[in-house]
Amino acid sequence: MSAPAPLWRVRAARGEDLPAILDLARRTGGGFTNLPADAAALARRLDWSGRSFARDQDVPHNELYLLVLEDVASTRIAGTAMLFSRVGSEWPFYSYKLCTLKQTSRELGRNFSTQFLSLTSDFDGASEVGGLFLHPDCRSGGLGRLLARARYLFIASHRARFGRRVIAELRGVMDDAGNSPFWDALGRQFFGMSFPEADQFNAINGNQFIADLMPKHPVYTALLPEAARAAIGQPHASGRAALALLEAEGFVFDNYIDIFDGGPTVCAEIDQLRCVRMAQVAEVGALADDAAALAAPPSLVASGTLGDFQAFISPVGADGALPAAIAGPLGLAIGTRIIHAPA
């Protein structure tokens, strides 16, 4: 008889998760600002997250909610995901907007379209999802989708703690050595740092130095090398699946890019996200011995609030029934409040 499949859940991170999260951070390969491979920086993020979960005011201010993917039986942690309640609270949240200037020369009888990058803080006040990273051994079986979409059920369960819009920044194009052609062509000229150095500094200290040193005038893309132009708005090869998940949820690319590596920044109205729109609140009405008896497709399900939040995949019967083999290990009983959406 084959062993039962592992039961995975996404839960709120805790301080004791630091070693496992640090191990994941060291596997990212760089360019992953929200998950720096630095124990002290990660400890500060865990502390920030803990204070955010404990905060009793349901108004977005400057919270970080850090979630982890856990095998319930072994307690192995295999992934991370993050939510930021409101970006731009402490200093402006900078992006480049790719714009087009059209000009006409009557003497030459020609029209010209010129692209340029404009430094903006258009997303100040928006919420952000980020920090999504999955252990290479676990990138199958829908675990990435569970980890990514659990964030939207967290938002649906705590709607007042988030803004009107939500954004996601995707890592941009880099070479095998971790260098960014976009940064090398632009940022390096003003900061005197390699991309890995600037990325590490930003991850640990924040991006206020961008405000101090980044040129405020538009940058004409025609003046950039071809490799840098080709990287504008393109995700890292490892981020294409994440971009597809975001687009399926309702995010769109509106010509905003990351100021460091030129990767795409996508945005959406929170209340129009697929998971948020389709979320339903219920109570566990019964515990079924056989999941097949529920005659229901798998759903994304969450229970608990704030630090007790957990999300998992399970069929949900018409009366809120859950399989006992799932509900039991997760501590769910008849009458427990759940929220669920199509998987």
What is the domain partition of the chain in residue ranges? Answer: 8-278, 279-343
| Structure confidence at residue 1 (pLDDT) | 43
What is the fold, at CATH topology level, of the domain defined by 8-278? Aminopeptidase (3.40.630)
pLDDT for residue 202 is more than 80:
no
pLDDT digits 0-9 by tens, 108-146: 667 778 899 999 999 999 999 999 999 999 988 899 999
One-letter amino acid at 213 equals: L
List the one residue out of 70, 78, 75 whose CA is nearest residue 136.
78
Tell me the mean pLDDT in the region 208-223.
Answer: 79
224-244 burial by CB neighbour count: b if 16+ within 10 A, else e?
beeebbebbbbbbebbeebbe
| pLDDT higher than threshold 50 for residue 227 | yes
Q: What is the per-residue pLDDT across 265-295, written as a single tens digit (0 to 9) for each?
A: 999 999 999 999 999 999 999 999 887 778 8
Residue 319 has a pLDDT of: 87
Q: Could you tell me how far CA 285 lies from the centroid of its own chain?
A: 33
* pLDDT band, residue 5 (cuts 50/70/90): confident
pLDDT single digits (tens) 6-58: 899 999 999 999 999 999 999 987 667 788 888 999 999 999 999 999 998 88
Mean pLDDT of the chain: 90
Cβ count near 263 (within 10 Å):
25
CA dist., res. 144 & res. 308, Å (int): 21
The CATH number fitting domain 279-343, selected from 3.40.50.150, 2.60.300.12, 3.20.20.70, 2.40.40.20: 2.40.40.20
Determine the Cα–Cα distance for residues 74 and 155; give it in Å rounded to an integer.
28
Extract the tokens encoding 89: 């609270």
Q: Are 328 and 181 in contact (CB under 8 A)?
A: no
- Classify strands 322-323 and 64-71 as parallel, antiparallel or unpaired: unpaired
pLDDT at 237: 87
Kindly state the percentage of the chain with pLDDT values over 90. Answer: 68
Catalytic site positions: 236
Does 279-343 match 8-278 at the fold level?
no
**pTM exceeds cut of 0.85:** yes
- Render pLDDT for 165-195 as a digit per residue (tens, 0 to 9): 999 999 899 888 888 999 999 888 887 788 8
